[in-house]
Amino acid sequence: MMRIASAAAMVSGAPLLPHFMDDWPSTLFSSGQLLNMGKYASTVALRHSLELANRGICISDDMTAEYGERFGIPFSTFMNCVPDAAFNVSSVSHLPRARNGSALKLVYTGGLHLDRWKTLRALGRALESEPTESAPSLYIYAPQADVKQHGHRFTGLPRVILGESVDVQSIPATLLTADVLVHVEAFDPQFQRQTRLSISTKIPQYMASRRPILGVGPPSLASMLHIVRTGAGTVLPTNDVNTLSRSLPAILSDAPRLERMAACGFAYAINNHSRTFVANEFRKYVIALSSAAGKALRAPYRRHLTAEELDGL
């Protein structure tokens, strides 16, 4: 894809606009596969692509800052957006169970891969420490393939309920059934390297649903930082079951705080993650980029490629 995009830019004279959603330049072929030929080929293709770009976009502010220093061109942040209609159905506060002392429903939507199942299992075990009838339950809605592969990891955990897999269109309605939404990441250093600069698609969706977010994961990851910076939730920086057991009751029983976090996340999302806002900002960004293209690109690239050059790509 990078080679095709580079060829198109060289032929047309238009700049590339690369969009990075995870830190694959650091992690792809990082184990020396294919005698390091894969890493070499991807690095060469990336370097060539960036020579044809005068700007780039990233999925998180943390990635934007790091990539600007790493690659020497300015980057901007464009995160996943949420349909405007989602804000209309979630504009009312919803924490009745937290207010009347009934059992809270914690909901996680997303994959179980990248060892996320380990963090979810630790959370499920921690919930067992409250033997009362009002103890929270964790509902997991994951892709069917993930449930087939990892569903047995939750056997014997009565507070964990594996729900049916839901399609993309049904996710907003599923989120509205929750009192608290859960986002988790793995603590293994290998997986932290893969996820440290990314922000999951579901974080803006979570915020737009006006539900507080409980994050469990390394606090330095971009996803966890976004939850805290926006005030949309709180983060527990451990997967130790005993520590989680001690921390959860105070968090989940504080209904006013949960409502404040839900309201903060909703306000931030409607002002920064709505489809209308993101589309308008992106439109302005691309117009500014295209108007400056003639000055930004090097003259040698504004030509047609020879047959030999095309073969080389």
Which one, of 22, 43, 47, lies nearest residue 34 by Cα? 43
Please tell me the predicted confidence (pLDDT) of residue 131.
67
Place of tokens 């060469």: 44
pLDDT in tens, 60-73: 999 999 999 999 99
Q: Binning pLDDT at 50, 70 and 90, where does residue 307 land?
A: low
Length of the chain equals: 313
Q: Which CATH number fits domain 85-272: 3.40.50.10140, 3.40.50.2000, 3.40.630.10, 3.40.50.620?
A: 3.40.50.2000
Q: How far apart are CA 195 and CA 114, in angstroms?
A: 9
Task: Output the six-digit token pair for 52.
Answer: 């044809």
- The pTM (predicted TM-score) of the whole model is 0.87
pLDDT in tens, 127-184: 988 767 678 999 999 999 999 999 999 999 999 999 988 888 899 999 999 999 999 9
Q: Determine whether 65 is exposed, middle or buried from the number of CB atoms within 10 Å of its CB (0-12, 13-18, 19+).
A: middle
pLDDT in tens, 203-229: 999 999 999 999 999 999 999 999 999
Higher pLDDT, 240 or 34: 240
For 257, the enclosing helix (H) or strand (E) is helix 255-272
Please tell me the predicted confidence (pLDDT) of residue 158.
93
Please tell me the predicted confidence (pLDDT) of residue 14.
85
Domain ranges of the chain: 2-81+274-312, 85-272
Q: How far apart are CA 133 and CA 153, in angstroms?
A: 24
Sign of the alpha-carbon torsion through 285, 290, 294, 296: positive
